[in-house]
Amino acid sequence: MGMTDIIPLIVAKYNYWLFVVLMMIGLYAMIAKNNLIKKLVGMNIFQTAIILFYVSIGYKSGATLPIIQNVHEGHGHAAIHAADYINPLPHVLMLTAIVVSVATFGVAMALAVKIYQRYHTLEEDELRMRLSEK
């Protein structure tokens, strides 16, 4: 398998590569950064990557919306082929995940504001030091 065979494969699956890159950026931000806000933004990027992944695997090329029309053709019933339709379940679940992601981010930001008001810092090392003094 030469380099000329790999490039079309990478281009054809660009959304999966984008998912991996976004997930690694989010994971890096959550692990390596000391600022709580940067960790929260990393968590949000990680959640967005997961949502992109599920929407990507829920896509089916050549399929149509799952709205069934003209079921009665002639005297009998027409056969419905499930392979001709997109499964809406992954997309619906990701709508729920988006709502949960926004709510989680909002609560985490509110906690970060309270932490800053009490300790006057958002740096993890300083917070750990101040908490160990008490």
pTM above 0.85, yes or no: no
For residue 70, what pLDDT is reported?
65
When mean pLDDT is compared across 25-34, 63-72, 100-109, the lowest value belongs to 63-72
Contact 95, 115 (CB under 8 A): no
Task: Quote the tokens at residue 53.
Answer: 């992944």
pLDDT at 103: 97
* CATH fold of 3-61+86-133: Helix Hairpins (1.10.287)
DSSP states of 67-109: -----EETTEEPPP-GGGB---HHHHHHHHHHHHHHHHHHHHH
Residue 16: count other Cβ atoms within 10 Å of its Cβ: 14
> Distance (Å, rounded) from C-alpha 60 to C-alpha 81?
14
* pLDDT tens, position by position, 61-95: 888 888 876 666 555 566 777 788 888 899 899 99
Give ∠ CA 104-53-21 in degrees, rounded to 5.
Answer: 90
Q: Structural domain boundaries of the chain?
A: 3-61+86-133
Give the Cα separation of 113 and 12 in Å (integer): 43
Tell me what pLDDT residue 63 has. 84
